[in-house]
Structure 1
Amino acid sequence: MRTRNRLPGVLGVLMLVWLVIGAVAAGQRGYFDDASTNCASVGTIAVTIVAGPLNYAGVNPTVDCEYPQPSS
């Protein structure tokens, strides 16, 4: 019974470690140094953090966003 009570805590710690590793990978790639805050840069930072340790296995996620242009 005690093992079931610890499972959410262990999963929470693992998720936190996963996201910290992703944030470190984004920092090593210099994503936090870029001053531009457009859709593509924010999206790339987010998916890099979510990818976590997969970044060190060769995954290089990027996001390409295009805003709709107003009609003239």
Structure 2
Amino acid sequence: MRYRSVSVFFVLVWLLIGLLAAGQRGYLRSADATCAEASTIAVTVLAGPLNYVGLNPVMKCELPQPSS
């Protein structure tokens, strides 16, 4: 039971650091989020502290276009 609360605490701190990194990079300022921007924000938050040791995750996303 104690290990679960400690691990939840570390996961929350990890994600908070990732959110801080996304904010510092200006990813959270844009109101228009494309697929690529949203996935880059998600990967940056999941990378957490790794952002501060040189990891710069950037995602590309291509959605299918409707036929004309």
**TM-score over 0.5 (shorter chain):** yes
2:41 counterpart of 1:48: no
Q: Distance in 1 between matches of 2:22 and 2:35?
A: 16
| Structure 1 ranges of 4+ moved more than 2 A | none
Q: Distance in 1 between matches of 2:31 and 2:39?
A: 14
2:30 counterpart of 1:19: no
One-letter amino acid of the counterpart of residue 46, structure 1: A
Q: What's the C-alpha RMSD, in Å, of the aligned pairs?
A: 0.9
Which stretch of the first structure deviates more once superposed, 31-40 or 8-17? 31-40
TM-score when normalising by structure 1: 0.89
Unpaired stretches in structure 1, ≥5 consecutive residues:
none
Shift of 1:68: 0.9
TM-score when normalising by structure 2: 0.93
The corresponding residue for 1:32 is: 28
The corresponding residue for 1:59 is: 55
Q: Distance in 2 between matches of 1:25 and 1:70?
A: 35
What is the number of residues matched between the two proteins? 68
Q: Distance in 1 between matches of 2:34 and 2:19?
A: 18
Q: Distance in 1 between matches of 2:66 and 2:14?
A: 40
Q: Distance in 1 between matches of 2:16 and 2:25?
A: 14
Q: Distance in 1 between matches of 2:30 and 2:58?
A: 15
- Report Cα offsets for 1:3-27 as digits up to 9, x if no partner: xx21000000000000000000000
